[in-house]
Amino acid sequence: MKLLIVDDEEHLVECMVASLSWSEVGITDISTAYSGKQALDVMEDDPADLVITDVRMPGLNGIELIGAIKSRWPGTVCMMLSGHAEFEYVQEGLKHKVSHYLLKPVKDEELIAAVREAVDGLLAEKEQLRTYIQSQSSIHRNLPVLRANLLNNLIQGRSWNGRKLAEELNLYDIPVRVGDEVSLILIRIEDRKRYYGTSDLPVMGFAVTNIVEELLADGYGCWSCEDLYGHLLIVVNNNPEGEKGQSLERLADESRRIVNQLLRLTVSVILSPTGVFPENLEELYQRCVTTVRSQIGNDNDIVVRLNGENSRVAPHVVKSLYTPPLLAHLLEAGNWTGAREKLEEIFREWSSDYRGSNEHLSEIDYAIKAAFSYFVHKNGRMLADYRLHKFEDLKGDDELKHWASSMLDKLQEEMNAELSDSRHSLVSQIQQFIQEHLSEDVSLQAIADHVFLHPTHISKVFKKETGENITDYLLRLRMEKAVFLLKDSKYKVYEVAGMLGYKNPTYFIKVFKEHFSVTPQEFRE
């Protein structure tokens, strides 16, 4: 961060530059100016991130300087420094959005605290801007993937919030809106003559999707993805002119012909009835998938049109077992609250829809054990440690629910203990690094680089585990070592300052006096 100090009292400026440890609050470059005009010249050559200016100066005063800076460099943070506390100065400062109004003579710790607060604010703004730019760039680069993931989540039955879904549809530029009437086109690609290798199929899927979307472009809005079974799925917004059903059938047949002609592939196409988006989307999708299995089978090069009268066997699975997020995924993510809510959802569905059915209770039993077994093996443990390797008689619903809840508690307790050990280890690494580098300019970033973690994260972990900020811990260690070194008369005060990482002995003396209420020399005497 670049700092510009402006005051017509040259000695005051020089004292501020020399006596304070600016690097500790993130200031890496300091410029000075002794008038408002000179300050603007400095800003022209090399704009500062932060400006501290006196209010009363000959020529261009501090208020006018801040106004000029804000008009040309709006991102620069300005502070007012004045020996006058007139209310109109404060009002003018507020108009120009100054971050602080400090009265002379300002205490060093007050000035440093204000600068630290301003620097933290600037860093937060820059991080927010960087994150926003990265997110927008990432959305643009990954738009096809984001669209496909959203559609896959909806057809798999993931719960949705109308407002959030509407925002995502708009953000991803998807030509479908909540409440629209839609149909589904499900396409199974068939390479019966083995023209292509396995590695070529994703490219062929992309080519087939392009052909179909190009044919639909004149009259339909469409949105596509590849489902979990490798089928191509296209949501069609039914807003074209003319006969919808006939038009879709014609386009499906035309796409089948073009794919065969250009790519030497055959495709089977299922056209769903219409439904309301997104309420009917999962049901329409399941009807298409069932049709592939029950009506097409191993046949190929077929177009099937479903209508509202087509019926299929009503499913009676415990749906919440297979609706994202799955219990196994919640466990893997360490989302213990979500895992408990998932168990509640599963047993609530069984109670309301299948109570008394051992058939469905068995389904729940197998699925929950499978999720726990996956998690146990994923974390390097053995099933025998949790009695998951034994096939026991089916439990009643209350007993199964209690067992599942107890197992979840046990796993969470073990994982939390592991997390605590990891945090203790991290704190030990931080403390050791600081102790070994006391004579250097130890910064939070240097510590973060050493442990390969973000500075914000290590600050939070250290505070949570020790109850002390890293900067306070560093200061305490330095002062304790200062006492030890000062007891040895062979070291001069400036040598002690250097051994503790203070480049400026004057600043070390100030810090020592603030900590012990005596100067180093007085302590020694």
> Which of 8-17, 44-53, 135-144 comes out lowest in average pLDDT?
135-144
Structural domain contains residue 139? no
Number of domains in the chain: 4
Residue 44 located in a structural domain: yes
Mean pLDDT of the chain: 87
The verdict on 326 and 459 lying in the same domain is no
Structure tokens at 76: 């620069």
Predicted confidence (pLDDT) per residue in 484-507, tens digit: 999 877 888 999 998 998 888 888
| Domain with 228 in it | 157-305
Do 289 and 165 have their domain in common?
Answer: yes
Q: Which amino acid is at 269?
A: V
Looking at the structure, tell me whether residues 388 and 499 fall in a common domain.
no
Same domain, 287 and 335: no
Q: Is residue 440 part of a domain?
A: yes
Could you tell me if residue 25 is inside a domain? yes
Same domain, 214 and 339: no
Residue with tokens 């360490």: 334
Task: Let me know whether 301 and 162 are in one domain.
Answer: yes
Q: Are residues 13 and 116 in the same domain?
A: yes
How does pLDDT run across 315-334, given as a tens digit for each residue? Answer: 678 888 988 888 999 999 89
Together in a domain, 181 and 233: yes
pLDDT at 335 over 90: yes
Q: Which two tokens stand for residue 315?
A: 């499913």
Region at 450 (left for phi over 0; alpha for psi -120 to 50; beta for the rest)? alpha
Does 343 share its domain with 253?
Answer: no
DSSP state of 386: G
Is residue 495 within 8 A of residue 487, CB to CB? The reply is no
Q: CA–CA separation, 250 vs 248, rounded Å?
A: 5
Residue 243 has pLDDT above 50, yes or no: no
- Determine the Cα–Cα distance for residues 181 and 239; give it in Å rounded to an integer: 8
164 and 293 assigned to the same domain: yes
Asked if the structure places residue 145 within a domain, the reply is no
Strands 232-237 and 181-190: antiparallel
Same domain, 472 and 382: no
d(CA 284, CA 276): 10
Residue with tokens 């002690």: 496
- 323, two tokens: 């609706």
- What's the CATH code of the domain at 446? 1.10.10.60
DSSP 8-class letter at 292? I
In order of 148, 278, 294, 461, 522, the CA distances from 284 in angstroms are 17, 10, 15, 48, 85
Q: What are phi and psi of 322, to 5 degrees?
A: -115, 5
Rounded Cα–Cα distance for residues 408 and 380 (Å): 17
In a domain, 511, yes or no: yes
CATH of the domain at 249: 3.30.70.270
Q: What gap in Å lies between CA 186 and CA 225, rounded to an integer?
A: 10
What average pLDDT score do residues 42-55 get?
Answer: 92
